[in-house]
């Protein structure tokens, strides 16, 4: 980071899992510390399907909240995570550090924590009842950036991470992601000349995981042209990109109906197309208020 030196001690904690109380619904209240940064414990919040067992090999979706890298809460994707658990997936929501107040530099701590979280999920797949080859990264806005970053951009790893464990997702679910941080795009003011160290859209390759991306055509942070350029780059690289643009929808549109359900239905179909889910979605389309 150019403007601040941030030191911390971070390490994986393999055994600090807190499970639901007897009689509670499957996954209710489940959490796990994935890392300690200084005195702060960073947690994963886990929604498990009915009948879950540690010996399962279920697909999982790891969610990163939005908030401009400076705020937000893992509660943002609770409903999406809960729904996917009803469909047989393990839903995981990540608590990560945001940029410290007054720091005008890049989201170094956010990116490091995102990669640490993905590595923890994969390295503890046997305990979480997860197939380590069917882990999706998902997120909205700055969380969408982090989800894509874990799988598309090298670097910004926590020094204490075991780099032999891959942080790359096997699929990406991106809700109006700020994944292009080049000149003129969101986040560039923070990143400056270092934007290629952080911008997923500048690292498209034939090994980029299959992705589904949702965007409103009235988003004041992300022009539709940014998504179209990403979609074109993915197709040219031989990578899958399902792009969905919603008319008259602004930034954060997926948090509200009817788009909350619409995007979740498409997410369900996307996972089904990968062979991760079986049968049709159990949601019904919502009616706008």
Residue 1 lies in a domain: no
Can you give the residue range of the structural domain that contains 209?
Answer: 46-273
Q: Are 99 and 70 in contact (CB under 8 A)?
A: yes
Cα-Cα-Cα-Cα torsion 79, 27, 274, 206, nearest 10 degrees, comes to 90
Residue 134 lies in a domain: yes
Residue 288 lies in a domain: no
Residue 287 lies in a domain: no
Strands (E), the chain: 10-11, 17-18, 30-37, 40-47, 58-64, 90-94, 130-140, 171-175, 211-216, 241-246
Q: What is the pLDDT of residue 242?
A: 98
| Helices H / strands E in the chain, number of each | 7, 10
Greatest Cα-to-Cα distance within the chain, rounded to the nearest angstrom? 54
Between CA 222 and CA 220 the distance in angstroms is: 6
Q: Are 94 and 75 in contact (CB under 8 A)?
A: no
Q: What is the pLDDT of residue 285?
A: 83
Q: Are 30 and 45 in contact (CB under 8 A)?
A: yes
What is the model's pTM?
A: 0.89
Token representation of residue 35 = 């890392």
Q: Is the peptide bond before 258 cis (omega within 30 degrees of 0)?
A: yes
With a cut of 70, list the residues of the chain below it in pLDDT: 1-29, 287-289
Residue 7 lies in a domain: no
- 241 to each of 135, 237, 267, how far by Cα in Å? 17, 10, 13
Residue 284 lies in a domain: no
The set of residues, in sequence order, having a beta carbon less than 8 Å from that of 200 and lying 6+ positions away, is: 145, 148, 149, 151, 152, 153, 177, 179, 180
Q: What is the pLDDT of residue 2?
A: 35
- 226 to each of 56, 154, 183, 199, how far by Cα in Å? 39, 21, 12, 12
Helix axes 259-273, 78-86, angle to 10 degrees: 40
Task: Give the bridge partners for 235, in sequence order.
Answer: none
39: DSSP letter:
T
Q: Is 30 helix (H, G, I), strand (E, B) or coil?
A: strand
Domains: count for the chain:
1
CATH number at residue 192: 3.40.50.1820
Residue 210's φ and ψ, nearest 5 degrees, are -60, 140
Residue 15 lies in a domain: no
């Amino acid at each position: 980071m150019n403007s601040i030196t941030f030191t911390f001690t971070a390490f994986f904690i393999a055994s600090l899992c807190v499970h639901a109380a007897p009689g509670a619904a499957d996954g209710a209240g489940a959490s796990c510390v994935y890392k300690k940064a200084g005195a702060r414990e960073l947690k994963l919040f886990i929604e498990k399907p009915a009948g879950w067992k540690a010996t399962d090999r279920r697909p999982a979706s790891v969610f990163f909240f939005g908030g401009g890298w400076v705020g937000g809460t893992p509660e943002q994707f609770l409903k999406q995570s809960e729904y996917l658990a009803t469909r047989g997936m393990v839903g995981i929501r990540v608590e990560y550090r945001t940029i410290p107040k007054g720091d005008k530099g890049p989201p170094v701590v956010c990116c490091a924590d995102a990669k640490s979280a993905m590595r923890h999920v994969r390295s503890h797949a046997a305990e979480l009842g997860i197939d380590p080859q069917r882990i999706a990264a998902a997120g909205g806005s700055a969380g969408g950036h982090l989800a894509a970053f874990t799988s598309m951009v090298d670097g910004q790893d926590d020094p204490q991470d075991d780099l032999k464990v891959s942080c790359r997702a096997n699929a990406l679910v991106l809700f109006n992601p700020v994944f292009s941080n080049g000149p003129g795009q969101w986040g560039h003011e923070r990143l400056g000349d270092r934007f290629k160290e952080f911008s997923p859209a500048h690292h498209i390759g034939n090994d980029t995981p299959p992705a589904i991306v949702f965007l409103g055509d009235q988003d004041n942070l992300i022009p539709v042209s940014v998504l179209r350029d990403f979609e074109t780059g993915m197709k040219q690289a031989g990578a899958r990109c399902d792009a969905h643009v919603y008319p008259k929808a602004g930034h954060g549109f997926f948090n509200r109906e009817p788009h909350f359900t619409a995007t979740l239905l498409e997410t369900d179909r996307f996972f089904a197309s990968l062979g991760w889910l079986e049968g049709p979605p159990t949601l019904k389309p919502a009616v706008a208020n």
